[in-house]
Structure 1
């Protein structure tokens, strides 16, 4: 038996074993979900978060790995009769914060000017900022910046956030515990991605895993992520909130961005949140980032912001963009259809 045949047999055995031992959540199209789940885990596939648009031609380009974003952007442009753009920004591991933030910020500041919008035929009264996962993190953070920046004259009509990561203070939320081995974004991978946004130094990753990375001098920030007060009761599921265990100051001194409200939207003050526009929020039950979105919904509503919240009981992180064959899901197609309908009604 040749080495290729042996590798195929081993791979099939690993897929079957992994499906049998780790897949237990109640999903739609369970066999297709199990296959995707197992392939992602075993091959450590990650889904690209970026659509790139060249300023001169507005032509859309995309990275490999499921290629959902080009499809989504074209569907959005056609369905909504809208101009769909997104900035090209440097990716980690090669680049770290604040490189990506600066790139996006520069793009948004230059794009949301009357003369630029006029150039591309964009109605300044019908602008929205949207993103998913880490893209939603930047979308939420950028919306806060745009609202508070007098040098940006055009303000978004609404923001649309698809399962965003909104904070790094607490990595032991109920959603992190429930979905430690969840679809596409298990806890270890979420922490790895958050850490590598700032550094390849593994000390940050290890600190996030222990959830003892915030020193006592930043204790005032924990009220913004106190899930016992901010989560709806049905998501607490008997978990008991414990006061944070503080760490040394070294991590924050080395990586101050982890406590910076500029890039952690859930840490923004109430006065800032009260200025935000209409918000669409999508959260998924089987997602480590679920509670970030749920807490943001609570804080936004507490500060008078109108929020349309769509929670998907059988959803998981990444389910919005599984739209390309052979990884397409009926759930994903429904979510996108619902999203387009909401945007069309509110834009």
Structure 2
């Protein structure tokens, strides 16, 4: 990223484009047990992963949305994860290569993933997928997209119902940056609070100079914070997650200029955690994976509570030694962390149990 910022300053290319280029340089590893096919659903590139062994019955289907804040990440960076998911769960996996920033702002990422998902749901027979066992899955922003798509498609009668959602350290809201995990883990790699705000500003096309204002929360009027307090309040987070010196920052006076610019940018934005109860009540069961050393940890805890309060079954796994992005280390040799294998195992076991 440091090198990318230099190239961006020199106006050679943007930082995200340089990082994605570097991430995509290593050749993809082939797995003899998995057949990988590159396809396009309209203009959207996708990778289809199918077990090489034949099956007498239709298999589960997994639609996978990669993480990276819609800044980094690609079909290539998550190739190994999708191969392992395909092989270990004996499922057909579709990985979506949605368009990203800085060229493509909100709502392009959501739209691309939604279009690809609908196309896949309409073509399950062609891929040998059981229409009763289709799940959506994603890490980081991909997990947030998975949750949004479940909410978006909940009433579609012309499509097979999504059986479950798998949310791995998902991005589920961007309204309250004063939650305990945002304080406790603000400088933890791979997702610092500063980079999270950079991604959020890029996504909404907000100037990054508003970072300090967003951290103080004084771009939001009191009545708006009160509206969402019942879902975002720290009292909804178990006490054991608030014991590391957490102290709420008092909100300062409203910054009218920041409120005008940021609220206009957020107009029409849907974040999975902040939709109404009747929407939450209709989504499929969830498998939620949270990590202790992750600024987004509390987003997962709050969404878990909302789902459970509305009667939606939740399987929750908390990785005490986990950090944001750890799943990507699953086949990185020297940089491997055992937590990534445990996350993969709980996801595979969840799918097998459907």
User: Shared topology, TM-score over 0.5?
Assistant: yes
Tell me the residue number matched to 1:144: 151
Change (3 A) 1:64 1:251: closer
How far apart are the structure 1 equivalents of 2:335 and 2:76?
A: 11
Structure 1, unaligned stretches of length 5 or more?
1-43
RMSD: 3.0
Structure 1 position 134, deviation (Å): 0.8
Change (3 A) 1:73 1:275: same
User: CA contact under 8 A between 2:186 and 2:192: conserved in structure 1?
Assistant: yes
SS in structure 1 opposite 2:322? strand
Tell me the residue number matched to 1:199: 205
Structure 1 position 319, deviation (Å): 1.4
Structure 1 position 45, deviation (Å): 6.9
Q: After superposition, where does 1:235-254 map in structure 2 within 5 Å?
A: 235-237=241-243, 239-241=246-248, 246-248=254-256, 249-254=259-264
SS in structure 2 opposite 1:54? strand
SS in structure 1 opposite 2:290? strand
SS in structure 1 opposite 2:94? coil
Q: TM-score by structure 1 length?
A: 0.76
Structure with the bigger percentage of strand: 2
Aligned residues: 295
Tell me the residue number matched to 1:54: 39
SS in structure 2 opposite 1:71? helix
Tell me the residue number matched to 1:306: 313
How far apart are the structure 1 equivalents of 2:158 and 2:145?
A: 17
Q: After superposition, where does 1:182-331 map in structure 2 within 5 Å?
A: 182-199=188-205, 201-216=207-222, 218-219=224-225, 220-228=227-235, 230-237=236-243, 239-241=246-248, 246-248=254-256, 249-257=259-267, 260=269, 262=270, 264-323=271-330, 324-331=332-339
Structure 1 position 253, deviation (Å): 4.1
How far apart are the structure 2 equivalents of 1:161 and 1:52?
A: 25
User: CA contact under 8 A between 1:53 and 1:86: conserved in structure 2?
Assistant: no
Change (3 A) 1:105 1:64: closer
Change (3 A) 1:344 1:247: farther
User: CA contact under 8 A between 2:178 and 2:248: conserved in structure 1?
Assistant: no
How far apart are the structure 1 equivalents of 2:296 and 2:220?
A: 19
String of CA shifts for 1:111-162, please: whole Å, max 9, x gaps: 222xx11121111100000100011111111111111x43552111110000
Structure 1 position 83, deviation (Å): 1.1
Structure 2, unaligned stretches of length 5 or more?
1-17, 25-35, 50-65, 67-71
Change (3 A) 1:141 1:204: farther
Q: TM-score by structure 2 length?
A: 0.75
Q: State which of 81, 84, 87 in structure 1 corresponds to 2:93.
A: 84
Structure with the bigger percentage of helix: 1
String of CA shifts for 1:242-290, please: whole Å, max 9, x gaps: 6755543403443024x73x3x100011111111211000001110000
Q: After the TM superposition, which segments of 4 or more aligned residues of structure 1 sit over 6 Å from their partners?
A: 44-49, 61-66
How far apart are the structure 1 equivalents of 2:97 and 2:37?
A: 5
Change (3 A) 1:298 1:243: farther
SS in structure 2 opposite 1:84? strand
How far apart are the structure 1 equivalents of 2:171 and 2:143?
A: 7
Of 92-101 and 122-131, more deviation after overlay is shown by 92-101
SS in structure 2 opposite 1:126? strand
String of CA shifts for 1:84-125, please: whole Å, max 9, x gaps: 002221111111001222212222223222xx1112111110
